Amino acid sequence: MMFSEYEEDETRGFGDFEYNLPESKQDQLNEGWPGIFYRKIFKNIDESKFKVLFSENMGRPNFPVQILIALEILRQLFDFTDKEVVDSFNYDVRFMKAVGLKRVGQLNLTYRTVYEFRDRIVEHANKTGNNLIKEVFEELTDALIEIADLETEIQKMDSTMVDANIKNLSSIELMRRTLDNFVSDLNKNQKGKIHKNVLTILSEEKFQEYLDEYTKKEIREILLGKIKTVKQHFKNDDEVNSLKSYELLCRLVDDQTIEAGGELKDDEDISADSL
């Protein structure tokens, strides 16, 4: 994927949502948290430092990085799930205003775009020790405090909490993707040996239900339990054992669990050279 700097659409038209709102509502957008977030946070996000996550000249252009960073900040501030963030971006004019959009449907955001961007951030942090999103939070601390003081729904967060949240969400997606890749490598007969309840979390709809209902740690524990069940089921199947995806599944279990009891490791106890 190729890095492309974000350029706001400066054109104005009758399709802009502000044109279709009463003046009092326009004032609320501009003077409330959406307008302040846009002016003091969104406009001051330096997306150029994220260029290292992308190719310079190969692949399709990326979804605007400045918007993805802003949405990650908003997710942390409101303590939203990914579903709530994506839905808010697509349908809530307050979030559109906060990231400089003018029209409903101007850009379309999917869950996968959010997951993949977060994966790039964590992969880069693991390789270099440089957490780019944490840097952004620290640079914008004063503005974030001002927003939190203005809006009671917004929680105050420090960079340590941000770091932990991103790692947890990335770990969840890694575990789910590893299981999905393994299942995709199985033939029909082999897939039939896995109980359907184990595979429910691979459904996008069911996965969102998990994200909405459970804490991040609980979801990791649920995923780990499903993965360990699958690993155990095929441990004596030489054909399956020869698959690279099964090897990675086993490595994931070793990376994520304490050897003695098999419990889930805390993030800080997972090795930097883990899967």
Side-chain-side CA neighbours of residue 183 (13 Å)? 22
Helix (H, G, I), strand (E, B) or coil at 3: coil
**Both tokens assigned to 137:** 């939070």
Q: 138 with 163: CB under 8 angstroms?
A: no
Measured CA to CA, the distance from residue 72 to residue 114 in angstroms comes to 9
- For residue 270, which amino acid is it? I
pLDDT of residue 260: 47
What pLDDT does residue 160 have? Answer: 54
Q: Is 257 helix (H, G, I), strand (E, B) or coil?
A: strand
Q: What pLDDT does residue 164 have?
A: 59
Contact 107, 101 (CB under 8 A): yes
Identify the pLDDT of residue 66: 93
Alpha helices in 140-234 (DSSP H): 141-150, 159-185, 188-191, 196-199, 204-213, 216-233
The pTM score is 0.63
Query: Exposed, middle or buried, 78 (CB in 10 Å: 0-12/13-18/19+)?
Result: middle
How many angstroms separate the CA atoms of 167 and 119, rounded? Answer: 9
Per-residue pLDDT of the chain (275 residues; tens, 9 = 90+): 777 787 877 777 667 777 777 888 888 888 888 888 999 889 999 888 888 888 777 767 778 999 999 998 888 788 787 888 899 999 998 999 999 888 888 888 888 888 788 878 877 876 787 888 878 887 887 777 766 665 555 555 555 555 556 666 667 777 888 888 899 899 988 888 888 888 888 887 777 777 777 877 788 888 888 888 888 889 888 999 999 999 988 888 877 766 645 676 666 556 655 65
> Which CA distances in Å does 90 have to 79, 101, 111?
18, 10, 11
| Inter-axis angle of helices 204-213 and 82-91, nearest 10 | 110
In the prediction, which pLDDT does 239 show? 92
**How far is Cα 149 from Cα 155, in angstroms, rounded to an integer?**
9
Q: Which residues, at least 6 apart from 25, have a Cβ–Cβ distance to it below 8 Å?
A: none
How is residue 239 written in tokens?
A: 């054909």
Cα distances from 204 to residues 111, 207, 275, in angstroms, run 9, 5, 23
166 with 118: CB under 8 angstroms?
yes
- pLDDT score recorded for residue 267: 60
* Residue 241: predicted pLDDT: 92
Q: Which residues pair with 55 in a beta bridge?
A: 2
Question: Which pLDDT score is estimated for 25?
Answer: 85
